[in-house]
Amino acid sequence: MPDKSHPLSTSALAKALDKTTKQMFTELESLGWIKRVDDSWLLTSKGEFEGGTYRESTKFGRYIIWPSDTVKHRALVSVDSHLLSFDYLATQLLLSDRTIVLLFQELGWIKAGRKGWLLTALGEAAGGFQRENRSTGIPYIMWREDVLDNSILTARVTSFQQGSEGKNDYLCCDGHNVTCEAERKIDNWLYLSGLLHAYRTGLPCEGDLDADFYLPQHQLYIEYWGKETPKSMLSAKIEKKEKFIKMGVDLIELNDEEVANLDEALPRMLLKYNIEV
């Protein structure tokens, strides 16, 4: 039986568990013990089963109190044990930590805060829970296990990793249809990083030459040189490189090793042109 000799308010319970009051209410809601109705917190049948009751106060009105031994409740001591972090999701979906966060942002489930990440209404519906680092106050997000079965996320991850099926084998997340897998990886990386870019845009010079990628806001070109470059394009690429040198434009050239490690390689290269991602 719950110990009701020294009941605790939700704020007192939060203090005893070394959590913020806001975090405590969020956790109790995620456990299904309380629910928000209009501007008030109400007990659910599950919360009543766990010993929650109401107390009336002339100063604070009606509020919820909990048995003192609630501080030892397994669900509260390790309330996030059943939730998943971005690191875990990245491992399960075979993506980098950076990519999984940007995919969730692209879906509209999260948005960047001044520091950390904030949950959106769509993200909450998908099974996200807002959390806050106790020492720094930086917000972060945890996810229910069933997010891994979310059909929207599954389709987006598949599109990112494999492109579309059929004739457009190298269709990118932003709709660009490129010529090889390496270019698809570059295009997806630029898109998820929020960098406006053109694909196969003509060079501002004589001759019929196209740039692999062009960032118009930064007047920067990106070219891929690797084993996936079609042989039919090699002579044009060599001619294009000579044009780049003659024009004196800003240019990043990527090889296969760098494409395999875009999260490390491209931010470093972009920083040389004062582009921070």
Q: pTM of the prediction? A: 0.62
Q: Alpha-carbon torsion 103, 194, 270, 254, what sign? A: positive
The residues, any chain, with a CB within 8 Å of residue 225's CB and separated by 6 or more, are 237, 253, 254, 255
Q: Which pLDDT score is estimated for 4?
A: 53
* pLDDT single digits (tens) 11-60: 999 888 878 888 899 889 988 999 999 889 999 999 999 999 999 988 88
Q: Please state the three-class secondary structure of the chain as a single string.
A: CCCCCCCEEHHHHHHHCCCCHHHHHHHHHHCCCEEEECCEEEECHHHHHCCCEEEEECCCEEEEEECHHHHHCHHHHCCCCCCECHHHHHHHCCCCHHHHHHHHHHCCCEEECCCCEEECHHHHHCCEEEEECCCCCCEEEEECHHHHHCHHHHHHHHHHHHCCCCCCCCECCCCCECCCHHHHHHHHHHHHCCCCCEEEEECCCCCCCEEEEEECCCCEEEEECCCCCCHHHHHHHHHHHHHHHHHCCEEEEECHHHHCCHHHHHHHHHHCCCCCC
Structure-block tokens of residue 190? 């630029």
The residue type at 78: S
The residues, any chain, with a CB within 8 Å of residue 134's CB and separated by 6 or more, are 18, 19, 20
Please report, in tens digits, the pLDDT of each residue of the chain (277 residues total): 455 568 999 999 988 887 888 889 988 998 899 999 988 999 999 999 999 999 998 888 999 999 999 988 888 876 676 789 999 999 999 999 999 999 999 999 999 999 999 999 999 999 999 998 878 889 999 999 899 999 999 988 988 887 655 455 688 988 898 988 999 999 999 999 999 999 988 887 776 778 899 999 999 999 998 887 777 677 777 888 888 888 888 999 999 999 999 999 999 999 999 999 8
Q: Which pLDDT score is estimated for 78?
A: 67
Q: Which pLDDT score is estimated for 79?
A: 62
User: CA 131, CA 124: separation in Å to the nearest integer?
Assistant: 12
